[in-house]
């Protein structure tokens, strides 16, 4: 057909867009029928014949032969048929088929056809992309960094589709350059202005779960089950695993020989600390394991189910381990067991009397007490035992604040010491008086 070369157009969308032949032919026919309806008022009496391999397209318009034409879109006169095909043997009432040349649409209509056709194909391509990634939510994809912006990174997959990795879904410490290979999990697929937006994440718990499936065959095969994952991206994660086969050690299988399996995951997560623990339905035992690397005994754990709280008494050297940097360990443990955990230092008898920081609420701001408790200092002596520099760095407090807190706490013990000295002095004086009375007698 003259006026438009469809062969390159067919080839482009069949090869690059991956649209099947039946869909392409259906779209083409629909687009041309729409244009025929605009031109002739109806397209019901037209046949659209398409050959996508050769790029051929024929349109035949079928009209009834009549003596007097009432509707030129559906009827044609016998005289006009005789003029078009002299010596024909058509009779009244028969159907006459006439090929519609592309030129009859006009230049503007042909351009409109191309635009509509391209728009329809693009819509199909977008729908295919949306459906493809909709089915891949929760799965890992690997792409190449195409553009780096302040709030997000644009990534292209192997089919040149654009994926988005927002800053909020990046691990602290992630740094990307154009051309870098990125591994992430699909967490969301949405349509924005009829354009599919595929959002990736490296901070989601499911990303860590998929990494374990890739590195640990027993998890992929279903021999080991990941019961729960909690994580603070870039800092620490806790993975509770369970095996239904007594012959398989779930923790050992996940870690691998000399950490061979878990090291690859740690590197991918920018050296995020990963604690793999055995899952159990025993809440006390689960809390013990969740607080790793800190150690405590079940007898020191008091669970109040009505309040969803667990009170734990630990040795002095284990408190800071249980709380972790910035309270990260205790936060993750609480989330893992779905219970609020409060830790108290188990003060030994030879350590003397100590005072809880909460007792100083009238002198020290609540946010300062909270910051100190987050680094494992829940009593006055805990704070006084640390250097100013250590408290400033770990609790993120100003030097003046630390000095003022220590002054208040130290004053408490100075008052007690003074009282003890005064009591001892009074007792000595009384003994001396009694001695003098004895000598006089």
Q: How far apart are the C-alpha atoms of 384 and 106, rounded to whole Å?
A: 91
For 7-131, CATH number?
3.30.1480
Q: Find the Cα–Cα–Cα–Cα dihedral 68, 71, 76, 78, rounded to 10°.
A: -10
DSSP collapsed to 3 states, 6-56: CHHHHHHHHHCCCCCHHHHHHHHHHHHHHHHHHHHCCCCCEEEEEECCCCE
In the prediction, which pLDDT does 3 show?
A: 42
CA angle 290/291/297 to nearest 5° reads 105
Q: Which is higher by pLDDT, 142 or 320?
A: 142
Of 31-45, 122-136, 218-232, 245-259, the one with minimum mean pLDDT is 31-45
pLDDT per residue as tens digits for the range 339-355: 999 888 765 533 456 77
Please give the sequence-ordered ranges of beta strands (E in DSSP) within 262-421, or none if there are none. 273-278, 301-304, 309-314, 340-345
Please name the residue ranges forming H helices in 216-307. Answer: 217-220, 250-255, 260-268, 283-290
Q: Where in the chain is the domain with CATH 3.30.1480?
A: 7-131
In the prediction, which pLDDT does 441 show?
A: 39
Which H or E element spans position 95?
Answer: strand 95-99
In the beta sheet, which residues pair with residue 46?
61
Q: How far apart are the C-alpha atoms of 146 and 67, rounded to whole Å?
A: 68
pTM over 0.75: no
Token representation of residue 2: 């003259």
Q: Which of 361, 394, 362 is nearest to 377 (CA)?
A: 394
How many Å separate Cα 229 from the centre of its chain? 13
Q: Is 416 a residue whose pLDDT tops 70?
A: no
Q: Find the Cα–Cα–Cα–Cα dihedral 175, 179, 185, 188, rounded to 10°.
A: 100
Q: How many CB atoms are located within 10 Å of the residue 209 CB? A: 17
Q: Which of 261, 222, 214 is nearest to 244 (CA)?
A: 222
Q: Where in the chain is the domain with CATH 2.40.50.140?
A: 136-203
Most confident option among 29-33, 100-104, 141-145: 141-145
pLDDT per residue as tens digits for the range 192-212: 888 999 999 999 999 999 999
pLDDT per residue as tens digits for the range 137-184: 999 999 999 999 999 999 999 988 999 999 999 999 899 999 999 999
The DSSP secondary structure of 226-245, one letter per residue, reads EEEEEEETTTEEEEEEEESS
CA neighbours closer than 13 Å in the CB half-sphere of residue 414: 7
- Its CATH class, for the domain covering 136-203, is mainly beta
The DSSP secondary structure of 158-195, one letter per residue, reads TT--EEEEEGGGSPTT----TT-EEEEEEEEEEEETTE
In the prediction, which pLDDT does 89 show?
A: 82
């Amino acid at each position: 057909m003259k006026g438009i070369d469809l062969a390159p157009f067919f080839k482009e969308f069949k090869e690059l867009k991956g649209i099947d032949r039946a869909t392409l032919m259906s779209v083409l026919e629909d687009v041309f029928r729409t244009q025929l309806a605009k031109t002739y008022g109806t397209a019901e009496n037209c046949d659209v014949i398409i050959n996508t391999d050769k790029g051929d397209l024929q349109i035949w318009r079928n009209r009834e032969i009549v003596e007097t034409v009432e509707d030129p879109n559906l009827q044609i006169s016998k005289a006009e048929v005789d003029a078009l095909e002299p010596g024909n043997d058509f009779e009244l009432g028969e159907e006459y088929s006439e090929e519609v040349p592309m030129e009859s649409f006009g230049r503007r209509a042909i351009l409109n056809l191309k635009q509509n056709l391209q728009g329809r194909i693009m819509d199909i391509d977008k729908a295919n992309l949306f459906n493809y990634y909709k089915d891949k939510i929760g799965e890992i994809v690997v792409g190449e960094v195409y553009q780096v912006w302040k709030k997000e990174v644009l990534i292209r997959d192997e089919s040149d589709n654009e994926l988005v990795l927002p800053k909020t879904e990046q691990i602290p410490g992630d740094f990307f350059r154009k051309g870098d290979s990125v591994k992430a999990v699909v967490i969301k697929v949405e349509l924005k202005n009829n354009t599919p937006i595929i959002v990736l994440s490296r901070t989601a718990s499911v990303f860590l779960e998929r990494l374990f499936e890739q590195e640990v065959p027993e998890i992929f095969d279903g021999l080991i089950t990941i019961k729960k994952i909690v994580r603070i991206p870039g800092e620490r994660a806790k993975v509770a695993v369970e095996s239904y086969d007594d012959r398989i050690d779930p923790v050992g299988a996940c870690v691998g020989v000399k950490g061979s399996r878990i090291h690859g995951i740690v590197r991918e997560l920018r050296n995020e600390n990963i604690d793999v623990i055995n899952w159990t339905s025993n809440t006390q035992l689960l809390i013990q394991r969740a607080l790793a690397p800190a150690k405590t005994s079940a007898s020191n754990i008091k669970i109040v189910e009505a309040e969803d709280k667990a009170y734990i008494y630990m040795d002095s050297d284990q408190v800071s381990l249980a709380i972790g940097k910035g309270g990260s360990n205790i936060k993750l443990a609480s989330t893992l067991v779905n219970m609020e955990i409060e830790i108290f230092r188990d003060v030994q008898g030879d350590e003397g009397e100590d005072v809880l920081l909460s007792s100083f609420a009238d002198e020290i701001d609540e946010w300062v007490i909270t910051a100190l408790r987050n680094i494992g200092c829940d009593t006055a002596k805990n704070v006084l035992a640390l250097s100013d520099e250590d408290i400033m760095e770990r609790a993120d407090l100003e030097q003046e604040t630390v000095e003022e807190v220590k002054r208040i706490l130290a004053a408490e013990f100075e008052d007690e010491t003074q009282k003890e000295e005064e009591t001892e002095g009074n007792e000595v004086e009384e003994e001396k008086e009694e001695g003098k009375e004895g000598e006089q007698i």
